Chains A and B, each alone.
Chain A
Amino acid sequence: MNENTNPSAFEPLRRFVPLLVWLAVAATVLAIPLKIIGLGYLPADDALRHAAKAVSGKPWSEILVTGSSFHIDHNFGWHLFLRQIFLWSHCGAEGLVVFSVVALFALVGWSALPWLKRPEAWLIALATAAVCADLSDRLMLGRPFLLTTTGLLTILFSWQARGAARPKWWLAVWFTLLVAVCSFVHGVWYLWSLPVAAFFLAGEFRWGLLLAVAWLAGVFLGASFTGHPFDSLEQAVIMAQRAFALHATQRTLVSEFQPSAGDQYGLIVLGGLLILRQLAKLGAAPLAKNPAFWLAVISWILSFKAVRFAADWGWPALMVLVAGDLQLLLQSRFAADSFKRLALAGGIALTTFLIFTNDINSRWTQNLTWQFLSTTEHPELAGWMPEKGGILYSADMTIFYQTFFKNPNGDWRYILGYEPAFMADEDFAVYHKVMWNFGDAKAYAPWLKKMRPADRLVIRGDGGGPPNIPQLEWNYGVSGIWIGRLPRTSAK
């Protein structure tokens, strides 16, 4: 921008521009999760239970009341990894969550950088996804699916970086290891069929074949690490099947499995890229020959069944497309060592940082007002938590996440954990009835019938009056949560 004022004075510094841009991008990717964690953020779902599981060291069967469909932990690798960190650092469940959030965000954010000559294009892709798809929230969830996202980005970017060249044999080894790690920690091995299909649809048959082989080998390798290769593979499929099939309507599915409305902004971004390609004459490979495009299309269609297809596979693929096209644009308009480029990268870094870290709708701070069921934090709950060998009944998964997080060593079990599909069939029927009837108290009846003195029923509700279940005595344990137990006299 000031190149004309005194070119000779700054000329020797130009060679540092690429490095400075690279550092700015890498630093932004790291600064984002650190800033958000600094606000007090805790993710709302699985990251809490992963951390608590690692601290507890117990198998799921000692934490949850599981049905016969549960065989093996499908996040075995992730829990093993977190457990080792816990044993090494003694950092507690909260420390493990912070680690998960920061490490996984940075991993996803950095995974694109080795493949790009203009890493600032990746920041634009990140910012676009954050603005259009709330991907910022998902990238901060601290869950192992982010490793799968990292693996996917690596594969798509490596294809993009190699252009039309044939894949090398060592890529097969590299992809196999990548898929093995992903399926070891995340479990959903079958979903790798999506990128394989995308490569074939793009006409990249050699790459498709290579990825298919890597997928099969990697999945088997990953499953072997669990010690129960066939059980772990089967478990993932059973879980997916039950998670959908047990529900009469989509309304009662967990929110991630509910359908998408069509992701209009994703389509607008894709349309924008098409126009950009035409107007700027970027010379990019046709979309129909790009596996990332096909993966975005497949995932968009499947998102009408479950929104996670778009969130976890479609948007990362679209981000690869965005980064690839914008890199071409930047290369055609800005010299690699120009100060204009440095200024632009600085502006993009600042914008991306602000887009991610602003606390719109309290997305990063709402957990500050959560109240946990924990006698350590609320001594007045003594006698109201489940007793030794007891069961915590609840039809609300957040109760499990938050209570297990604060009581990883609690000596009770939870009727509902992180996936209703694992419940015993008769318990799932109760859970489903509660959902179906929008939380109506009558639906809890079968659980009331089998409750013992050691058990508790926990229902969210305001302090106005207890749930309409007079068979139990109730305590407004913490704000927004009622705890019910069998009346002490009748229990005796």
Chain B
Amino acid sequence: MFEFELPERFRRHVPLAVWVLVALVIVVIPLKIIGLGYLPADDALRHAAKAVSGKPWPEILVVGDTFKIDHNLGWHEILGAVHHATNWDAENLVVFSVVMLFLIVNGAMLPQLKRPEAWLVALLAAMIVSDLPQRFLLGRPFILTITVLMTTLFTAQNGKPNWRTFLLFTPLIAACAFVHGVWYLWALPVGAFFFAGQFRWTLLLAGAWLAGTLFAALLTGHPADYLSEAVTMAFHSVGQHATNRTEVTELQPFGGDILAVIIVGALVALRLLVKLNPLPLAKNPAFWLVCGCWILGFRVSRFWEDWGWPALMVFIATEIQSLLLAKFAADSLRRLLLAMILAVATFFAVTNDLNSRWTGSLTWQFLSTAEHPELEGWMPEKGGVLYSADMTIFYQTFFKNPNADWKYILGFDPTFMPAEDFDVYHKVAWNFGDAKAYAPWVKKMRATDRLVIRGNGGSPPNIPQLEWNYGVSGIWIGRLPRAAAK
């Protein structure tokens, strides 16, 4: 089959056809997934709601004294501008975030590759082994950081360091630090370049990192607060917890991702067997970043997910590109057929709804009187506080009620809670949700406040001081008994 060849006049169109095919798959994937009704489960919801609300976090959350400044200031500015320009509601902003960020993170890689189909192999491998493309569809600003990281690694592979690359990297890192906040983590790729012995690149990247971070901090208007806030938040997020179990899922350790290790092994075997002779592993910063983040993943899995895997994808794409360059002529029918097979496989692999990953949100029920008028009187009242030890309650309720006039005790990071409230939250998590752990919150609840706990409809939470309503499927809302409250 693959011994046939296209007539000469068609062959010259093959590279363009492959490029269009790959680009098309990357465009169609998020559209298809959004078409299934997908909503991401976490931060994208609160980013969109924050942009719609236009309020600062202290008017949305009950924050402690560790909170100084919004560490995603830039992202909220962008979404706010989109909201003002389009009048989109929170849901449309989430759709925008999901689609745009997926397109950016994948689309930005294509110009870096002579064989863009190699990127589909990397995407496919990541999907099968790690669900990383699922993270690409979370609609969160860390995806911009991943984009810039991968762009940096590709650029360093394809060229030499010079002042132009410095001028490219500085604003890119500035943009990342402005929208995502975690400026200090750029030490990881700087370290990777250093270990790879790419000292000129190390210096250039370190300079771009420092300049970009400073520029981003200045943009916020509170440079010192912005920089110190990010570090404080990182220390608190991990340091406040007695065990890994009570940390937010992303900050818990990983299990070693053995399949990723096998992929690295397979790529090494490929080098040896096919004699591709590309850049030696020890001189490849992507390889060092993979190794470093794999080790750090045993402390916090996000090192691996947000820095290690993207570096591994660059590594995979580069190695596969070398193989394709060696084995497939750029304008051959074989190349076109392979690209078509990869396109179909990638599309099916990413868009299939395994374990309801894209449609799980269709059965969510939100606490919103607009959707459930019967909740009248059961939502927090003006100036009230919504107590909950479940972050999904915050994400979903804030998403549906961005302009509500209550505050949430727990938002997107327990670190920001006042110390005494963090203790309650920690005790609830420590005791696997035991009702007794809520006692301090129950004691300070006012008539305007509500306590919200997930549970099945069989019986209300064992907190008799409150009256309970099985508000929507799977959620109990408690308030002070009306007589006692009066």
Contact = CB atoms under 8 A, between A and B. Distances in A.
B1 A259 contact: no
A368 interface: no
Nearest to A200: B1
B273 A304 contact: no
Contacts, number: 64
B359 A251 contact: yes
10 contacts: A202-B1, A258-B354, A259-B348, A259-B353, A260-B354, A262-B129, A288-B2, A297-B341, A440-B473, A465-B458
Given A264-B129, A275-B273, A304-B345, A249 B2 contact: no
B16 interface: no
B462 interface: no
B362 A249 contact: yes
A251 B3 CA distance: 42
Interface in A194-247: 200-203
A438 B363 contact: yes
Contacts of A200: 1
B3 A304 contact: no
B326 to A, nearest CB: 15
A351 interface: no
Contacts of B2: 203, 288
A262 B349 CA distance: 7
Contact of A259 (B3, B344, B352, B473): B352
A249, A258, A260, A271 pick with most chain B CB within 10 angstroms: A249
A464 to B, nearest CB: 8
Contact of A250 (B1, B349, B354): B354
B218 interface: no
A71 interface: no
Which A-B residue pairs are the 8 nearest by beta carbons?
A262-B128, A304-B348, A259-B352, A250-B353, A249-B359, A251-B356, A203-B1, A304-B352
B266 A271 contact: yes
Contacts of B127: 262
Interface string A296-308: 0100111011000
A268 B269 CA distance: 13
Given A249-B353, A251-B356, A275 B269 contact: yes
B242 interface: no
Contacts of A201: 1
Interface in B341-381: 341, 344-345, 348-349, 352-356, 359, 362-363
- Binding site secondary structure of chain B: helix
Given A202-B1, A301-B348, 18 more contacts: A201-B1, A203-B1, A249-B353, A249-B362, A250-B352, A250-B354, A250-B359, A251-B356, A251-B359, A258-B354, A259-B348, A259-B354, A275-B269, A300-B345, A301-B341, A304-B345, A304-B352, A305-B352
A91 interface: no
Contacts of B348: 259, 301-302, 304-305
B259 interface: yes
A366 interface: no
A107 to B, nearest CB: 32
A76 interface: no
A278 B353 contact: no
Contacts of B36: 249
A9 interface: no
B484 interface: no
A301 B347 CA distance: 10
B127 to A, nearest CB: 7
A436 interface: yes
Interface of B: 1-3, 36, 127-129, 259, 262, 266, 269, 273, 341, 344-345, 348-349, 352-356, 359, 362-363, 457-458, 473
A301 B353 contact: no
A235 B167 CA distance: 65
Given A267-B128, A275-B269, A304 B356 contact: no
Contacts of B349: 262, 304
A367 interface: no
Given A203-B1, A304-B348, A249 B129 contact: no
A297 B337 CA distance: 13
Nearest to A303: B348
A465 B459 CA distance: 12
A202 B341 CA distance: 14
Contacts of B259: 264
B474 to A, nearest CB: 10
Contacts of B3: 203
B344 A301 contact: yes
Given A202-B1, A297-B341, A261 B354 contact: yes
Nearest to B273: A278
A479 interface: no
B269 A264 contact: no
A331 interface: no
B448 to A, nearest CB: 32
A468 B456 CA distance: 13
A437 interface: yes
A249 B363 CA distance: 11
Contacts of B129: 262, 264
Interface string A443-476: 0000000000000000000000100100000000
Contacts of B269: 275
Nearest to B457: A468
Contacts of A436: 363
B17 to A, nearest CB: 19
Nearest to A202: B1
A300 B129 CA distance: 15
A288 B345 CA distance: 17
Contacts of A288: 2
Interface string A416-442: 000000000000000000001110100
B270 to A, nearest CB: 9
A251 B352 CA distance: 11
Nearest to B258: A264
A303 to B, nearest CB: 8
A275 B362 CA distance: 45
B36, B129, B352, B355 pick with most chain A CB within 10 angstroms: B352
A250 B362 CA distance: 12
A440 B473 CA distance: 10
B405 to A, nearest CB: 33
A437 B266 CA distance: 43
Nearest to A251: B356
B390 to A, nearest CB: 19
B410 to A, nearest CB: 26
Contacts of B354: 250, 258-261
Nearest to A267: B128
A256 to B, nearest CB: 14
A278 B349 CA distance: 29
A251 B129 CA distance: 21
A201 B334 CA distance: 11
B169 to A, nearest CB: 35
Contacts of A250: 352-354, 356, 359
Contacts of B359: 249-251
